[in-house]
Every structure is written in structure tokens, then in C-alpha cells.
């Protein structure tokens, strides 16, 4: 039983990370029907901005909470701006082109950003100051580290904040209406370009937060770190019903859990196989994903 609980904690932690990244995919897809392949790179960039700023703050003798929150805010802001710039340069000029052109542009942007990160930050792993986040609770043999607690609670906070933004605020209404009908939204006075830009910014901000959490939790970042989690999070977004915010969160947690439990009870070798089997299985019975279509009022 203790083994089960330990794996449950592991699964929730990993699921949190996937959920945060998946949101960016799903929001962007919801609003301009684009699979933003460059999204994983925002995650990596966030991890780097975080470590650079955090190391600086630490060297200045700042207390731990200042280091954590300061670098978190800075990384989120940086990636939000980066995403807006990417949208402006690579996607906006292609707004009226075929979806394939935009998709290719996204792929190109992903390669460009990843190589940019490699050239500026080097090919070596960069260590995070893990001393900030050691220790944890022990329940018998079950370990719950402070870091896991931090990841799960920060994710929960961001998810609640995002839900509030999308469903309870004017900006959220504008995002939802733009997702449903861009021309009509413009005709009721919404600057849809601004809303699209904002959607990219929010998605990238969440990915940046995930980047920092991954850096802190696993101890290091590398320029190509966006690729694998990017694919997993994309799978999570599709599983949940791409375009659907609640779906992306659920999808993220499911993929995280399945991976951990498959590794924990079957074999680590096949955990990805199981994660994608679940994806295929769900899509077979519900082609639009768990939350897709039928309840798409949550679409952004």
C-alpha cells in the first residue's frame, strides 16, 4: 500500500508538469487551430531564464522565497514576451494561409529556438541551485518532498487562476468568443490579434513555470529539454480534447499517472507505450478526446 501511495505522489507530480505544458498547446489550438510545435521551447527557455536569474539572486544573498518567486515571475514574463514575438513573426503573417504553412512555420520556429538556446547557453546541462528545495515529509517509507509539494500546489494555484481568468473575466470572454468566431468577435469590438497574442503569452507563461519547476525538481536544464515533455504534453492535450482547457489538465494528470504506474507496476521500458496506448484507446472511442466537442463551452 505504501508503494502505491508513493507512486501516486510521483504520478501527481509528473502529471502537474504535463498539465501545465499541455495548457499552452490546447489554448493556442483552441484559438487559432494551430499545433504550436515551438511550445516545448518556451518551457526550455523558462527553465533557463529561471536558473540564470535564480543563481544571480542567490549570489546576491537573497532569501529562498525571493529567489523562487522572483525567478518564477521573471521567467514567466520573459516567455510570455517571447511567445508574443514568435506569434507576431512566425504565425501572424500566415493567418490567412493554409494550416499546413503555419504548421511548418511552427516546426521551423521550434528548431530555430532550440538551436538559439544551444548556441547561447551551450550544449552542457546547467545545474539548478537545488539546495533551496531539499527535505520533505516522511510517512513511514512514503516520501513527500517539499519540492513535490511546491510543484503540486503551484500547479493547482495556476490552474485555478487560469480557470478564473478564462471563465470569470472579460478577457476570458473575449478569448472564448475569439476562439468560437473571430470575425464576429471583431465585429463586436474585440481586437482578435491582441487576444491571440495574449493567449500565446499566457500559454508560454505557464510553460515557463513548468520549466522552472522541472529544473528545480530534477536538478538541471538542457537546451533540448523541451522536446520529450512537449510531445507528452501534446499527447495530454489531445487526450483531454484539444482546444479544451479542463481537458488538457485532466489529460496531463492521466498521462503522468499512467507513465508512473506503468513503470511502477509493469516496466519502465514500456511506460511510454502504455501512455500512448491509453491515448489511442481513448481516441478510438472518443475521437475528440475526453472533454472534446460535447462540452466544448470550456474551449478557448
Partner 1 sequence: MAELHLHDVSVRFGGLQALAEVNFSLMPGEIVGLIGPNGAGKTTVFNVITGVYSASGGHVEYNGENLTGLKPYQVLHKGIARTFQNIRLFQNMTALENVMVAQHSRSSCGVFGAIFRTPTQKREEARIKEKAMEELRFAELDEFADEVASSLPYGHQRRLEIARALASEPSSILLDEPAAGLNPAESSELMETIRKISERGINVLMVEHDMKVVMGICQRLVVLDHGVMIAKGNPEEIQKNPAVIEAYLGN
Partner 2 sequence: MKRSIMTALLVSAILMLSAGMVFAKTLKVGTMGPLTGPYAADGNDIKNGVLTAVEVVKANGGIPGFDDIEVMPQDTACEPRQAVATANKLINEEANGVVGAYCSSATLPASEVLDEESIIMITPASTNEKVTSRGLPYMFRMCGRDDDQGFIALKFMQEKLGAKSVYIVDDKTAYSQGLADGVEKMCEAAGIKVLGHEHVNQGDKDFSAILTKVKTSNPDVFYMSMQNSATGALMLIQAKRMGIKAARLAQDAVYHPQLMEIAKDAAEDVYLTFGYIDNNAPAYKEFYAKYQPKHGEPGAYSGYAYDSAMAYFKAVKAAGATDPEKVKAELMKLDYDGATKHIKFKPNGDSGSNYIIRKVENGKFINYWNPATGKLY
- Residue numbers at the binding site for partner 2 (CB under 8 A): 3, 6-7, 10-11, 13-14, 118, 123-125, 127, 130-131, 134, 136, 138, 141, 143, 145, 147, 214, 218-220, 222, 224-225, 227-229, 259-264, 267-269, 271-272
CB of 275 to partner 1, least distance (A): 30
The interface partner of residue 33, options being partner 2, partner 1, none and the CB cut-off 5 to 8 Å by kind, is none
Q: Give the one entry of partner 2, partner 1, none that residue 184 binds, where binding means its C-beta sits below a cut-off of 5 to 8 angstroms depending on kind.
A: partner 1
Shortest Cβ 198–partner 1 spacing (Å)? 6
Q: Which residues of 172-181 are buried (b: 16+ CB within 10 A; e: fewer)?
A: bebbbbbbee
Return the one option of partner 2, partner 1, none that residue 271 interacts with (CB less than 5 to 8 A, by type).
partner 2
Q: Which listed residue (51, 109, 174, 213) binds partner 1 by CB under 8 A?
A: 174
Binding partner of residue 225 among partner 1, partner 2, none, CB under 5 to 8 Å per kind? partner 2
Q: Which of 52, 112, 172, 276 is in the footprint of partner 1 by CB under 8 A?
A: 172
The three-state DSSP-derived secondary structure of the chain is: CHHHHHHHHHHHHHHHHHHHHHHHHHHHHHHHCCCCCCHHHHHHHHHHHHHHHHHHHHHCCCCHHHHHHHHHHHHHHHHHHHHHHHHHHHHHHHCCCCHHHHHHHHHHHHHHHHHHHHHHHCCCCEECCHHHHCCEEEECCEEEEHHHHHHHHHHHHHHHHHHHHHHHCHHHHHHHHHHHCHHHHHHCCCCHHHHHHHHHHHHHHHHHHHHHHHHHHHCEECCCCCHHHHHHHHHHHHHHCCCEHHHHHHHHHHHHHHHHHHHHHCCHHHHHHHHHHHHHHHHHHCCCCCCCCCCHHHEC
Residue 1 binding target from partner 1, partner 2, none, CB below 5 to 8 Å by type? none
Q: Does 84 bind partner 1 (CB under 8 A)?
A: no
Applying CB under 8 A, does 52 fall inside the site for partner 1?
no
Which of 177, 220, 231, 283 is close enough to bind partner 1 by CB under 8 A?
177
240 binds, among partner 1, partner 2, none (CB under 5 to 8 A by kind): none
Q: Which is nearer to partner 1, 61 or 189 (CB)?
A: 189
- Among 140, 188, 269, 284, the residue binding partner 1 under the rule CB under 8 A is 188
Taking CB under 8 A as the criterion, the residue among 3, 137, 157, 164 binding partner 1 is 164
Amino acid at each position: 500500500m505504501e508503494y502505491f501511495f508513493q507512486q501516486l505522489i510521483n504520478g501527481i507530480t509528473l502529471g502537474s508538469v504535463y498539465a501545465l505544458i499541455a495548457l499552452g498547446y490546447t489554448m493556442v489550438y483552441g484559438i487559432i487551430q494551430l499545433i504550436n510545435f515551438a511550445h516545448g521551447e518556451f518551457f526550455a527557455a523558462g527553465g533557463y531564464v529561471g536558473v540564470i536569474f535564480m543563481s544571480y539572486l542567490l549570489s546576491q544573498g537573497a532569501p529562498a522565497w525571493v529567489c523562487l518567486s522572483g525567478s518564477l515571475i521573471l521567467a514567466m514574463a520573459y516567455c510570455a514576451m517571447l511567445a508574443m514575438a514568435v506569434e507576431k513573426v512566425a504565425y501572424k503573417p500566415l493567418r490567412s494561409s493554409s494550416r499546413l504553412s503555419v504548421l511548418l512555420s511552427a516546426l521551423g520556429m521550434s528548431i530555430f529556438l532550440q538551436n538559439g538556446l544551444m548556441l547561447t547557453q551551450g550544449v552542457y546541462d546547467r545545474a539548478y541551485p537545488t539546495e533551496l528545495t531539499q527535505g520533505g515529509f516522511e510517512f513511514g517509507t512514503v516520501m513527500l518532498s517539499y519540492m513535490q509539494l511546491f510543484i503540486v500546489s503551484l500547479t493547482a494555484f495556476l490552474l485555478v487562476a487560469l480557470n478564473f481568468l478564462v471563465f470569470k473575466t472579460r478577457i476570458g470572454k473575449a478569448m472564448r468568443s475569439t476562439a468560437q468566431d473571430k470575425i464576429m468577435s471583431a465585429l463586436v469590438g474585440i481586437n482578435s490579434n491582441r487576444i491571440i497574442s495574449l493567449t500565446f503569452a499566457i500559454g508560454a507563461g505557464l510553460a515557463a513555470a513548468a520549466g522552472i519547476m522541472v529544473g528545480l525538481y530534477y536538478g538541471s536544464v538542457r537546451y533540448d529539454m523541451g522536446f520529450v515533455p512537449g510531445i507528452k504534453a501534446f499527447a495530454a492535450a489531445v487526450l483531454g480534447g484539444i482546444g479544451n482547457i479542463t481537458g488538457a489538465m485532466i489529460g496531463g494528470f492521466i498521462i503522468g499517472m499512467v507513465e508512473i504506474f506503468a513503470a511502477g507496476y509493469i516496466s519502465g521500458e514500456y511506460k511510454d507505450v502504455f501512455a500512448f496506448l491509453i491515448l489511442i484507446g481513448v481516441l478510438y472511442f472518443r475521437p475528440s478526446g475526453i472533454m472534446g466537442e460535447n462540452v466544448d463551452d470550456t474551449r478557448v
